[in-house]
Chain A
Amino acid sequence: MASDAEARARALSSALAALDAEAGRQAAIHMSACVRCGLCGQSCHIYRSEPTPANLPASKVEAVASFHRRRHTFLGRHAPRLVGARDLGPRELESLVETVFGRCTGCGRCSLHCSIGLDVSAIIRAARRVLTKAGLTPDGLRRTVRTQIETGNQMAVTPEELRETAAWISDELAGETGHEGARVPVDEAGSRVLYLVNPREIKFFPLSLQAAAGVFYAAGESWTLSTRTCDVTNYGFYAVDDSAAAELTRRVLEEADRLGASEVVLSECGHGFRSFRWEGPGWLGERPRIPFRSVLERMDAWLAEDRIPIDPARNAAVTTLHDPCNLVRWGGISEPQRNVLRKICARFVEMTPNRADNFCCGGGGGMLSMEEFGERRVRSGSIKAEQIRATGARVVACPCHNCADQLLEITRVHGLDVEIRAVVEILYDVIDWRRVRGQTLRS
């Protein structure tokens, strides 16, 4: 018991020190600016699907701001009750974990609708950082960060397993396309592109890796996977463990250097894209030497250049598109996937709202890895499920493997008969292999 109490006391003092470290100009503005208008409620998928006060974005902000106010404002220090300032104690820490990890995916939609443009998710992320420094990150999330740091990828895929899966998928690919040269290259120095995948593509969902390999081949791109760094994800981003996040970014850049690659292409992933493209320079304290691009941007460019022969008539299914928050609202990538889908789907329909105003699927913010919030996660997916139902689509293009898993689950639970597919898989299906020249044009 004593050691348990000691551990709790240590966690609390780390949390307080971390909270004080957050208290800069930005936090002071964000944590005191909310005007409590309540507009944020209807913008939030979690509040809409479970409208209790604790789920209101303004309440989540207040839950964090009240501790900040107690320590860093004049009235909070001297008349805490008057201004609703609270002391951060062990019980408060526990409920703060649920608030910032279990009631917010950091999707940012509330900020878009906020009457004063408050950056709610910056506050949530500051609180996640405090809790992570205090060692209070939810277990599933903490385990995944540790697995990434220790094994190089979030699913502990070994180099041997990656090589064998690449060989297996290469055989499948050659068999399906009739092109012996189409394959999944591994650790090939001198390749122009280092391609990063979500490890679940190796372990559980290799059809998207096969599709990407086919698309790279058809476009004549020179590329490789790496057994040292294959992972496009960064769970340090979700936990707000900045040193882990920086380390994972640095390793990829070092590996790209070692292989002599001049571009890193990222498989369809929301937070992975945001992490490498936008957060990476902040973590590293410098601008990366080579560009990070989403495979969506690459596919868009190749189709615009007519580098991939396609026959869109093969695809007649009504198809809609999910906008992953970290890719679209935060990442600024909304049109490449649409340009691609309009060329390869005979019947493409938008869901409403879309692009930067999309609703989160409910699986963001690392929610899929935190079992304790599973019920709320699935319930909050009802908003997305109804958006999909309203389109009448049979296929949902989903340019994020994390969202894809949530969509698979919520469409099953909410009784929708749709297929969830990566954009690269839909493109792969319409490639006209007889017209593919089958040579690597660039190296």
Chain B
Amino acid sequence: MKVGDHEYALDGNGFLQEPQSWNEDVAREIARDEGIADMTGPHWAVVKFIREYWLEHDLAPPVRLLCKESGVGVRDMYRLFRSGPAKGACRVAGLPKPDGCV
């Protein structure tokens, strides 16, 4: 995936190979691939909370906390990110893919 002059490697599931290399331009590019043409305020609120939580806990946050901290309602979460919080929002936030059935 090319963003500006930099090439960013994605893994077999489309997640950023080096989560540390994430930045907002990378987020916008992955979001476009998710069908999100324009990252709005609520999109960023979700993505930034996921990012912060992951940096601190090395885990994706549960959707309960995500809704609470971002102020996005649970049904709206799936309108913002069609693939849901795991494969949609976590991918935009540059996390490695969560294990298991996602």
Interface size class on chain B is 20 to 34
Residue contact A402 to B101, C-beta cutoff 8 Å = yes
Residue contact B12 to A206, C-beta cutoff 8 Å = no
Which residues of A are found within 8 Å of B99, using beta-carbon distances? 140, 143-144, 147, 154-155, 369
When the two chains form the complex, which single residue of A207, A233, A369, A405 contacts B75, counting CB atoms closer than 8 Å? A207
- Decide if B83 is an interface residue (CB 8 Å cutoff): yes
Residue contact A375 to B102, C-beta cutoff 8 Å = no
| Closest Cβ neighbor of A415 among chain B residues | B35
Residue contact A206 to B74, C-beta cutoff 8 Å = yes
When the two chains form the complex, which single residue of A157, A164, A172, A368 contacts B102, counting CB atoms closer than 8 Å? A368
Produce 1/0 per residue, A339-373, CB < 8 A to B: 00000000000000000000000000000110111
Q: 8 Å CB contacts to A: which residues of B20-74?
A: 34-35, 59-60, 62-64, 74
Alpha-carbon distance A175/B12, docked complex (angstroms): 41
When the two chains form the complex, which single residue of A155, A164, A168, A412 contacts B100, counting CB atoms closer than 8 Å? A155
Produce 1/0 per residue, A180-221, CB < 8 A to B: 000000000000000000111011111100000000000000
CB distance from B61 to the nearest CB of A (A): 9
Produce 1/0 per residue, A119-162, CB < 8 A to B: 00000000000000000000010011001000000111100010
Residue contact B62 to A154, C-beta cutoff 8 Å = no
Chain A interface, >50% SS class: helix
Which residues of A are found within 8 Å of B64, using beta-carbon distances? 161, 164-165, 168, 206
Alpha-carbon distance A412/B13, docked complex (angstroms): 13
When the two chains form the complex, which single residue of B14, B74, B87, B101 contacts A401, counting CB atoms closer than 8 Å? B101
- Decide if B92 is an interface residue (CB 8 Å cutoff): no
Which residues of A are found within 8 Å of B13, using beta-carbon distances? 371, 374
Alpha-carbon distance A323/B7, docked complex (angstroms): 40
Residue contact A371 to B11, C-beta cutoff 8 Å = yes
**15 other A-B residue contacts (CB within 8 Å) besides A161-B62, A374-B11, A408-B87:** A140-B99, A156-B59, A200-B101, A203-B62, A203-B86, A204-B60, A205-B84, A206-B74, A207-B78, A235-B100, A368-B102, A369-B100, A377-B12, A409-B87, A412-B34
The 8 closest A-B pairs by CB, nearest first: A374-B12, A154-B100, A374-B13, A204-B86, A402-B101, A371-B12, A165-B64, A144-B99
Chain B residues at the A interface, C-beta cutoff of 8 Å:
11-15, 34-35, 59-60, 62-64, 74-75, 78, 82-87, 97-102
